[in-house]
Amino acid sequence: MADQTNFQNYMQASAQAIEKELQVFSRSWNKQTADAFPELQTDNQRFTDRLLGGKMLRGTLVQFGYELVKTKSSKAILKPAAAFEILHTALIIHDDIIDQSPTRRGQPAMHLHKNAHYGVSQAICLGDLGISQAVKLLSESDFQTDKKIRALTYFSQIISDTILGEMLDIRSSHTEKPKEEQILTIHKMKTARYTIVGPMTVGAILGGADETLLKSIKLFGEHLGIAFQIQDDILGIFGDENTTGKSTTSDIEENKSTLLLTYIQQQGTNKQKELFKKYYGKKGITKEQHEIIKKIFIENGALAYSQKYMNKLVSKAKAVIPQITKNISKQELLHQLTEALVNRIN
């Protein structure tokens, strides 16, 4: 495993700068809301509070994408980086409603409220507002008009791809036996393009990247992003809630389609399939039932298969790195990024 110190330092420094930009945005947006609609101030504050304190992965990759083209960074890239973090916060609010997840980052999910309908309704609206504010902030960034229009067009496409991926994911959860190919398409649309390809590409576009570089970023990001999602699905079952800040039963209860599940459906014994039919997708799953599912994933080989598939994609992503940049230090950061995403424990 590669030493990730340089990437961790890079990400920490980037996150601090992006957070300052988000604080400026939050103060402005909260003031506008308080002045015009004081009765919405509390709900709006709940959204902006969620913008702060995260790892800022997507924002960091916007900055890094820009620096793949430019020899040094610029303060101007911080608004587009912050825009991606606002988009991320908005989309996970919607995602938690869809998944009926009770927690996010160790806190109650945004839609939870003593009045359930009020909580869900306001959370949907706040998510929608967040998406519009993300587009607005990117449009206000200090870049040449042609680059900004190109970046905004691509940003809008990423939003569309992510929502389409979510819709496919919802559909697959209501399909008795989704195929592996369908799962991988969802991972590419919902995760890879939104988490890796999108941020890096927006940054690179604003830096003036040519099509050759953008194609290499897409290839790298799709391989890595799918691997990232496979790992996320594994952690969704086998992770530590105290570490991940997310329930380890919510994926089971929503009948989430993953490589783990498709492998069981294709390779499982009749007994294993019957147990999954009994427990997978069941609301209010118990600790004992959760342990039964984990044990089957291990004994059947589904966990090992998913990990092997993930590692294959990681190798493919790493093979693309020399096409993205000839700069040795930036290549090393890309290698460390890859290791950080797939070897994480949270």
Is 69 a residue whose pLDDT tops 90? yes
pLDDT value for 316: 97
Reported as a pLDDT band with limits 50, 70 and 90, residue 245 is low
Is 15 a residue whose pLDDT tops 90? yes
pLDDT cut 70: percent of the chain above it: 95
Q: Write down the mean pLDDT value for the chain.
A: 90
Structure token pair of residue 30: 């909260």
Is 293 a residue whose pLDDT tops 80? yes
- Express each pLDDT in 219-241 by its tens digit: 999 999 999 999 999 998 898 77
8 Å CB contact between 209 and 68? yes
**Domains in the chain, please, with CATH?**
5-342 (1.10.600.10)
Is 5 a residue whose pLDDT tops 80? no
Distance CA 95, CA 83 (A): 18
pLDDT value for 283: 83
Q: Residue 266 belongs to what H/E stretch?
A: helix 259-267
- Express each pLDDT in 249-289 by its tens digit: 778 887 888 999 899 888 889 988 888 888 888 888 888 98
- Express each pLDDT in 161-209 by its tens digit: 999 999 998 888 777 677 899 999 999 999 999 999 999 999 999 999 9
How large is the average pLDDT for residues 86-101? 89
pLDDT cut 90: percent of the chain above it: 64
pLDDT value for 101: 76
- Express each pLDDT in 120-177 by its tens digit: 999 999 999 999 999 999 999 999 999 999 999 999 999 999 999 999 988 887 776 7
How is the chain split among helix, strand and coil, in percent rounded to 5? 80, 0, 20
pLDDT value for 346: 43
Question: pTM for this structure?
Answer: 0.90
Is 45 a residue whose pLDDT tops 50? yes
How large is the average pLDDT for residues 26-30? 94
Count the neighbouring beta carbons within 10 Å of the beta carbon of residue 175.
Answer: 12
Q: Which among 113, 76, 63, 107 has a CA at the least distance from the CA of 89? A: 107
pLDDT value for 1: 38
